[in-house]
Amino acid sequence: MAAKVVHLALFKEEQIDHAAEAISRLHELGISDRDISVISGIPYSERILGRPMSWTNIGRIGLAGAVLGFLVATFLNFGTPLLYPIRVAAMGLTPIPTSIVVTFELTMLGLLISTFIGVFVETISPSFGPKGYHPKISDGHIGILFSGPAQLDEKIHTALSELGAEVVHEVEEEKLWP
């Protein structure tokens, strides 16, 4: 297997179309999406850059928390009166109008707590794409960080320079900017 080299290409902020074209050129050269990272001070959507949508597990975690909250509310509303029945006049064992409020509140509480925990876990989880940085990114430039085979270096540099990349260079693992 050929050794992969990490490269960084910088585009000016107003060259967002050129950056999107650069990503499609990298795809044409055989570099997959998991080997490409876009670094920018401005959060561009995946659609603008022609990238696949990134998915997280936060929705599933939130849904699981909502289901758990619903189950706890169901137990509190219907299980507790069955365990400890208290008859009050002609009322039923579980009054439905108040049960609706408790069910809603505990379902939403489960959703909120699990979503918070999910966001926290996703934030501290490591990412496995190429890593790097350049000070010009803080000044508004768009950085495309990618890893590819060493034998494609010349083709990559030529293709990205034609698109207007300011800087196209190899990034060492320890050294993140020149």
* DSSP-assigned letter for residue 105: H
Greatest extent of the chain over all pairs of C-alpha atoms, in Å = 87
Share of the chain above pLDDT 70, in %: 82
Q: Beta partners for 123?
A: none
Question: What are the structural domains of the chain?
Answer: 4-54+129-170 (3.30.70), 58-124 (no CATH)
C-alpha span between 127 and 120 (Å, rounded): 14
More confident: 169 or 24: 24
Question: How far, CA to CA in Å, does 97 sit from each of 70, 84, 94, 103, 156?
Answer: 16, 20, 9, 10, 66
Neighbours of 79 (CB within 10 A): 13
More confident: 55 or 104: 104
**Chain mean pLDDT for the chain:** 81
C-alpha span between 112 and 94 (Å, rounded): 26
User: What per-residue confidence (pLDDT) applies to 103?
Assistant: 96
pTM, whole model, 2 decimals? 0.59
Q: pLDDT grade, residue 146 (50/70/90)?
A: confident
Please write the tens of the pLDDT for every residue from 88-135. 887 778 888 889 999 999 999 999 999 999 999 888 877 665 667 777
Q: Which DSSP helix (H) or strand (E) runs through 65? A: helix 58-74
> What backbone torsions phi and psi does residue 26 show, to the nearest 5 degrees?
-65, -40
C-alpha span between 148 and 165 (Å, rounded): 17
User: What per-residue confidence (pLDDT) applies to 12?
Assistant: 80
Please write the tens of the pLDDT for every residue from 65-84. 999 999 999 999 999 888 88
Across residues 43-47, what is the average pLDDT? Answer: 71
Please write the tens of the pLDDT for every residue from 4-16. 777 788 888 777 7
Kindly tell me if the per-residue pLDDT of 62 is higher than 50: yes
User: What per-residue confidence (pLDDT) applies to 117?
Assistant: 94
User: What per-residue confidence (pLDDT) applies to 75?
Assistant: 94
CB 58 within 8 A of CB 113: no
CA atoms within 13 A on the CB side of 138: 4
